[in-house]
A and B are shown apart, each in its own frame.
Chain A
Amino acid sequence: MSSPPKLRVIGRSEVLPRPVLEQAAADLPFDIEFELIDSVKGLQRVVSSPETFDVYHQWHTVDLIWTARAVQAIDLSRIDHANLIRGQALGRQGDGRAMGSVFNQLFLQPSGALGSAPTDRIVMLPLLHGVDAFAYLPSVIREFDDGTPNSWGWLLDPRLAGRVSIMSDPVLGMIEAALAVEAAEGIRIADVGNLSVEEIDIIVDILLRRKKLGHFKTIWGNYRECARSMQRGVVLQSMFSPALAMLRSQGIPVISAVPREGYRGWHVDLCISSAAKGGQLDAAYAYLNWWMNGKGGAVTTRQGYYFAQPELVRPHLSAAEWDYWYAGKPAATALSDPLGQPAIAPGEIREGGSYFERMSRVRVWNAFMDEHTYLVRRWREFLEA
């Protein structure tokens, strides 16, 4: 027999904090090589060289990587707790608000297309999801009248000029910019998750003008840069929840917005390379099932992510953690971030409330839009201006 397989995993740094890497390595009987790639290079690798990885933590790109046949269908009979996934797929039919984006393209249909009707094969294993909004420092409140509801329009508010930051990712950045333009300029956008050429032009032209006026202090690429920009004079910006946890554990009183226009929803899932076979494929399934034991999801809960099957992570969380992160109750004790640093003080309540309340307020899901080619080139024009 050949030597024991080494599993090659690609994912973003936010999704794979150090304790997750360590726990997976300790629990699984083979070596794992994690490659953390935060830029589009990860996706380029995945679609053009499936033979260079075994598992990919995908991020709103499932239609695209399936078109490229860079991933293979996952056999649900080999996945632990698969009944929970089928149950969710059926159960959500009465509740289209939450998780729509996860299930709409989950099951491989007999035609070869992706769809929501449950079958025995899925193209990704639903893993993590959540909602994002911008965040701000308490000083920002003083710029607005008492009781002004949080709005995505604040990202473009002239009162904050020079102290605002936005993220560089074209998909997420453009969605947030669209929400901001809609709120600040009173422009109606038909579908924020699928912008037209004209809408992209309107949004980028506004961003370009603001950038030239010095409105944006920085543009950040990953959660570390995100946290750093707020340590360096930015008072309001796009936010990823790991950065929120990081800033709070450093004592910076950053507030996560609850925008009246709703949240930007996201999900991260597991895909198996179309090239994985034999021992590599077995290892890939073992890695997927390691996630289904809930330990990894418990770690990422502490940075604000929801697990696809919350009941699987509950046994690995303290009652106080469950109550704060999922139930929306005040923290009964001090709570730590994934690295064990204290991040939540006793008595604090999560902005936006419980799991259900927060997920119910998704306005738009991260999505590769039909006009992605056009979007990305115009977005680059904004970044390079």
Chain B
Amino acid sequence: MARAPSDGSKPYYQIVREVLSANVANGNLPIGTRLLTTAVADRLGVSRPPVKRALELLAADGVVTALSSQGYVVGAASGETSPERTNLHRLQLDLPPELGDNLGQARWERIFEAVEAEILNSIPFGTFQISESLIGEHFDVSRTVVRDVLSRLDARGLIVKDRTSHWIAGPLSARMLDDAHEIRRLIEPGALASAMPLLAEGFLSDGRSTVASALSRSAALSVEEVDAIELELHVDTLDALRNRRLAGAVRLQQVSLVINRLFATYIGLHDEIEMLREHALVYDHMLLGDADGTSAAMRHHLDADHARSRARLKVLSVFDAAEIAPYLIRIH
């Protein structure tokens, strides 16, 4: 089955390896530059183990060469010139968003999002044990980081410890959906109303016209199109909020987005006209600057969506075969 890609599923050493290799190839990291594990880790904002592994692999590829003293040098080592001791922070490097955008973000946070997404994708299909050591291997991070991630997932209510001290996730119950919905309908309509005056010009009219064109089309929408429409209203709007804690609190309760996406993946997309009409109503209120109407329309949409996702969870419950992350071990 096709699955929505989850950020961070690529191991860090792989990302680091590609980043270094690309920057050597385009000359950002000149031949002869000395690469010490600690300095590279500091420059990229990652921990040392993935850098160490990446440099070993790059040495095997011949991109860098191990020095007898310490560290590596870009290119083949030459006996005559000693490698340049360059301050890597002075070098302009091309960094992918996985590294570049997240410099300020704690490591656990990046992994948290990936693990959370994998767990949510799996628990409608069963009960899973989470392996601490396999998460560490998968993301190439230390036990400390893994424990940090797991304790936050615990606080989030997604995983529990069983009697033998194993971390367990799932199964996803209708009760969990009910609980999330109860909180979500209290906070998301208000959050949206607060974000409304802060949204960039054109954002609302763009969103509204996307919905309008989806409604006027006779052909079925693709999973990606529906996903984009949902994210625009439920996630992107809240980016405008100054209150990041409010935005974060809303996001934690959006379990039904996952259910709807899994249903589309397993069963296929059906008539989404109701959802589109509800979205259109919310946009229309926002376009008029009507905060109360926006909240009311959003509440109506969330209630209708809850009924749909509850019914869809029931359909998903007859399946077993989720494609699951390597660090999740099915137990029931």
Chain A residues with a Cβ under 8 A of chain B: 40, 43-44, 47-48, 63-64, 67-69, 112, 196-197, 368, 370-374, 376-378, 380-381, 384
29 contacts between A and B (CB under 8 A): A44-B318, A44-B319, A47-B318, A48-B266, A48-B267, A48-B319, A63-B314, A64-B311, A64-B318, A67-B314, A68-B270, A69-B270, A69-B271, A197-B173, A368-B314, A371-B173, A371-B174, A371-B175, A372-B314, A373-B124, A373-B171, A373-B174, A373-B317, A374-B171, A374-B173, A374-B175, A377-B126, A378-B332, A384-B332
Question: Which are the 5 A-B pairs with shortest beta-carbon distances?
Answer: A373-B317, A374-B173, A377-B171, A67-B311, A372-B317
Q: Does B43 contact A (CB under 8 A)?
A: no
CB distance from B210 to the nearest CB of A (A): 24
Q: Is the CB of A373 within 8 A of B266?
A: no
CB distance from B7 to the nearest CB of A (A): 26
Residues of chain B contacted by A384 (CB below 8 angstroms)? 332
Number of A-B contacts (CB under 8 A): 66
Q: Does B127 contact A (CB under 8 A)?
A: yes
Which residues 107-134 of B have a CB within 8 angstroms of A? Answer: 124, 126-127
Contact with A along B293-332 (1 / 0, CB 8 A): 0000000000000000011111111110000000000001
Q: Does B172 contact A (CB under 8 A)?
A: yes
Please report whether the interface of chain B is mostly helix, strand, loop or mixed according to DSSP: loop
Q: Is the CB of A373 within 8 A of B332?
A: no
Q: Does B190 contact A (CB under 8 A)?
A: no
Cα distance A43–B170 when bound, in Å? 23
Which residues 251-270 of B have a CB within 8 angstroms of A? Answer: 266-267, 270
CB nearest to B170 among chain A residues:
A377
Q: How large is the interface on B (under 10, 10 to 19, 20 to 34, 35 or more residues)?
A: 20 to 34
Q: Is the CB of A374 within 8 A of B174?
A: yes
Cβ-defined partner of A370 (8 Å) among B124, B126, B174, B312: B174
Which residues 266-281 of B have a CB within 8 angstroms of A? Answer: 266-267, 270-271
Cα distance A197–B174 when bound, in Å? 9
New A-B contacts (9) at CB < 8 Å, excluding given A40-B318, A68-B267, A373-B172? A47-B267, A69-B270, A69-B271, A370-B314, A373-B317, A374-B172, A374-B173, A377-B170, A384-B332
Please report whether the interface of chain A is mostly helix, strand, loop or mixed according to DSSP: helix
Residues of chain A contacted by B127 (CB below 8 angstroms)? 377, 381
Cα distance A175–B172 when bound, in Å? 21
Cα distance A63–B307 when bound, in Å? 13
Cα distance A248–B126 when bound, in Å? 40
Residues of chain B contacted by A374 (CB below 8 angstroms)? 171-175
User: Are A67 and B312 also in contact (CB < 8 A) when A47-B267, A373-B124 are?
Assistant: yes
Residues of chain B contacted by A40 (CB below 8 angstroms)? 318
Residues of chain A contacted by B124 (CB below 8 angstroms)? 373
CB nearest to B308 among chain A residues:
A67
Residues of chain A contacted by B314 (CB below 8 angstroms)? 63-64, 67, 368, 370, 372-373
User: Are A47 and B317 also in contact (CB < 8 A) when A371-B175, A378-B332, A380-B332 are?
Assistant: no
CB nearest to B317 among chain A residues:
A373
Cα distance A44–B316 when bound, in Å? 9
Cα distance A67–B315 when bound, in Å? 7
Cα distance A197–B317 when bound, in Å? 15
CB nearest to B175 among chain A residues:
A197
Cβ-defined partner of B317 (8 Å) among A112, A376, A381: A376
Contact with A along B198-229 (1 / 0, CB 8 A): 00000000000000000000000000000000
Residues of chain A contacted by B270 (CB below 8 angstroms)? 68-69
User: Are A47 and B315 also in contact (CB < 8 A) when A68-B267, A377-B332, A381-B332 are?
Assistant: yes
Residues of chain A contacted by B175 (CB below 8 angstroms)? 196-197, 371, 374
CB distance from B66 to the nearest CB of A (A): 51
Residues of chain A contacted by B311 (CB below 8 angstroms)? 63-64, 67
Residues of chain B contacted by A368 (CB below 8 angstroms)? 314, 317
Contact with A along B173-201 (1 / 0, CB 8 A): 11100000000000000000000000000
